[in-house]
Amino acid sequence: MTDRLRVVVADDQALVRTGFRMILVADGIEVVGEAADGAEAVTLARRTSPDVVLMDIRMPQMDGLEATRRIVGGMTRPPKIIILTTFNVDRYVYTALTAGASGFLLKDVSPEQLVAAVRTVRTGDALLAPSITRRLVERYARDQGLGVPSRKI
């Protein structure tokens, strides 16, 4: 791992890529490439060996979930991948994590939270949007027959 954090931004919307780039660069993070689709993201990740890839889900050519699978499964030292999307859908969360993503955030995240997430996953930790974490924990507790205490403990 180099001292300077290196990131690839993959999103089919140029304005979104530009916004993410501006946020990251302003915080001293190097954006080593931008991809407009999943296939391009896979190629860029292999060519530039970034520390982190910010990946949209719905993109032409190849979606971000398949691109994540190919990057994580096809590189000796794959980058950490954060899925960034507007789709707060459990199926996408599970599929992304199964594909090897280290993070799943919604695009309403603040610039500070985005930078913190990139730095967090680079170290090997995982990160989910708080609303997603709460929902997954509630579902797990329900599925395990664990109830919420009726009184404070």
Domain CATH for 118:
3.40.50.2300
The model scores a pTM over 0.75: yes
Task: For residue 137, tell me if it sits in a domain.
Answer: no
Q: Element (H or E) spanning 127, and its range?
A: strand 127-128
CA distance 79 to 88: 23
**Residue written as token pair 């931004």:** 9
CA distance 11 to 68: 13
Task: For residue 61, tell me if it sits in a domain.
Answer: yes
Max CA separation in the chain (angstroms):
55
Residues 6 or more apart whose Cβ sits within 8 Å of residue 71: 41, 42, 45, 46, 53, 78, 79, 81, 100
Task: For residue 26, tell me if it sits in a domain.
Answer: yes
For residue 126, the tally of other CB atoms under 10 A from its CB is: 13
Domain that holds residue 102: 6-128
Q: For strand 6-10 and strand 127-128, is the pairing parallel, antiparallel, or unpaired?
A: unpaired
Task: For residue 149, tell me if it sits in a domain.
Answer: no
- The per-residue pLDDT for 71 is 98
Mean residue pLDDT across the chain: 91
Task: For residue 152, tell me if it sits in a domain.
Answer: no
Task: For residue 19, tell me if it sits in a domain.
Answer: yes
Instruction: Note the helical H segments in the chain.
Output: 14-26, 38-48, 64-74, 90-99, 111-122, 130-143
In this model, does residue 112 exceed pLDDT 50?
yes
- The per-residue pLDDT for 1 is 45
What's the pLDDT tens digit per position in 61-106?
999 999 999 999 999 999 999 999 998 888 899 999 999 999 999 9
The tally of domains found in the chain comes to 1
